[in-house]
Chains A and B, each alone.
Chain A
Amino acid sequence: MDFFSTYGFLIVSMLFQAMLGLSLYIPLMTGQLSLASPGFYALGGYIAAILSTTVFLPEGGGKWESGTFPIIYVLIETVLAGLASALLALLIGFPSLRLRGIYLALATIAFVEIVRVLSLNLEITGKAIGIFGVPQPFINKFDYVVLALPLLIASAWFVYRLERSRVGRAFTALREDELAAAAMGVNPTTNKVLAFVLGAVLAGMVGAISAHFLNTWNARQGTFDVSILVLAYVIIGGSRTFLGPILGGLLLTALPEVLRAIAGIQGLPLFLSQFLLDGRLIIYGLLIVVAPLFYPQGLITPDLFKRRAVKTKEAGA
């Protein structure tokens, strides 16, 4: 059994989901709970699916052989998906970011729903059927790692640096106390919109690569369930450092496979292994409810590193 051909799909999915976790984390840096990421993810996917099936055709027409679609086209689609997401986020950011807390969350869920209904009804998005036969730049699913991993590293580095920069500090100040931040010269609106746009760009780019990865794109991609799933990454992984959503995305995406492996252990009662296989959503739900009781700030907190830093300092002294 070849590990990479068995788990290639899972590994790349984990990387994508980690990035979606980050895309929710960025607006959260300013204190905005936006669940809009799946909407931009869907948009990015449609842009890639449409371009690669109608514009980027092989010379002389016909279809791309599997594994021959040029990567450069994927990159172009990814950039365009990011740009389109940025524009759309700007457009809806200014009116919706007047809302706070749960109201903003609801408005962004409405946005995700609008994207879904539109794609179900528009000719260009293939209506209910969607767009299939999205051409493949790779033969093996695992090879997508050459796109997904650099993008994850780049976006993690981006957020890491952001948190230590002037703009990131303004974001955090808004989360801590919006009124005080404004009184200290931070413009709440532009900074919140900026964070919203940055999160949208990342989600859109992930969608573009995912369309190729999944081979097909339709209205079932990037729906409300994904909003909740991505929220779970942040709640369980941690919302106060960018490593939280990454860890949450990786873990929760791997969870079904882990459950499947556990269910396969000899000697488990049948009902239990059945539950482990079919009760995935129930287990997610339980985790979302129970994990915060034990890890109120998520698995990873900034203090985790500080304590370690202090310890090493003491050890050195």
Chain B
Amino acid sequence: MAQIHEYDAVIVGAGGAGLRAALEAGRRVKTAVVSKLYPTRSHTGAAQGGMCAALANVEEDSWEWHAFDTVKGSDFLADQDAVDIMCKEAVDSVLELERMGLPFNRTPEGRIDQRRFGGHTSNHGEAPVKRACYAADRTGHMILQTLFQQCTKFGVEFYNEFFVLDLLMADGVCSGIVAYELATGRLHIFHCKSVLFATGGYGKMFKITSNAHTLTGDGPGVVYRAGLPLEDMEFYQFHPTGLYRLGILLSEAARGEGGILRNGEGERFMERYAPTIKDLAPRDMVSRAEFFEIKEGRGAGPDKDCILLDLTEVDPEVIEKKLPDITEFARTYLDVDPVKEGVPIVPTAHYAMGGIPTNVQAEVLADHTGAVVQGFYAAGECACVSVHGANRLGTNSLLDIVVFGRRGGIAMAEYASTHPLPPLPEGAEKASEKWIAALCDGGSEESTASIRATLQDEMMDKASVVRTEDSLSSVLSTITELRKRYEVCRVKDRSKIFNTELVEHIELGFLLDMAEALVVAARARTESRGGHYREDHQMREDDHWLKHSFITRTAAGDTKLHHKDVTMGRYEPVERKY
């Protein structure tokens, strides 16, 4: 029997988005935060470079310029109403974090300091602008700590190391969630009026990634299994500077502070690809440029399979003061000193533009017509509003999680205070109970780890920076095979206390779902846009493809694709040049 808890609002996930939502919901209604990790372990803490807002503390700036850059960076797939809201609210969001105590770096006047970041420009693309507010290269850490401090202050209720397995619905209305308690192996039902998912990304489907081991797409996975749609799954961002082999991120701030990318011949190749802003071009373009440099034999290193991030011309004091962590990563993990030599890097799987579709109130969409699921909300990287379209600009995600986390928290609380508690479906935990029992019943030769490793290799090879019809078809049949292996695979550890093998196995199931959705949507989109690049369809096709894709899984297990128009605004699509 599962233990039942009753709340008004339940937030799943305790990263930046979840905690920001909790501060709002918690002050209005009875709220719980349910998270598989202790809050401060969330991957928001790994974010480095900054959070953008047109504060104009250092250089002239305006939120409209920020909006323009965001739309252009998105390759015109972002919904412009949502972008306007985000860029307008950015200013207050940053100031509010400062007032909560976030220790931003400061200007000589004692205001929040700002620096350059890829794709952020003044006056509609004229020149790079200083817009990223930052705290050394630990901005995400400071955001996560500050929000956690505030939650501690206000006594937010946490259920830590509770793994959410299922969403409960009663007649199309959300009525709670089912969670598995890691410490005991017991199931818990959280019966409530509104639920917000803030479960982060799913980079672990790729071999080389900046994402944590725990970023496995559980939230979108639960949604997909419930027969609800996911939006724009084909758009996955590869960051151009991941540590060679490891994928650990070296922030774009390294280039913002003057770092340069060089190929094996020592050439600053970005001059050829983006003559105006060069190394500070958006990530999709830089990652692709790196891919082709390596493919065409101009890679660096003994195997010519990487690029060098050259910081040797940056003032060593700037490196130590403004980029201390990433300098340490290079020293610790590659034994390379950025002050003295180029750091070997490769594109690394970084950020999911797609996810659970929502409107600007963070309400989850039930379908491509814009109908909403009553009582269900999503925010942060697991959601797709969409403010990032086909390619997210650096520093816009920390902004997204704070702006839409806040909006979601307010909206879910308002909903909860004006609606009755929906009934709990009959035997709410039964499906989860059966599922876990089956996973622990009998034996098999298969192992979670080997299925996962194959998935990661194949996705990296065939569905990453550059894709073709053939590569995607091939990886799709691999996924189908892996699914079969997954079905028969059993968990060997049968203990109740911290059965982390069971957890990893469940996470792998979600990863397979995410991979399937990504590949099916990518194969259907016969154009190139932002992070989705098809070598067999290299042009952007606005006539056909200026639209969001919505993928659902049918009861029979097939996938179905629908489309939704992009909300346009001030900016008409033009060719994206930098």
A and B: real partners? no
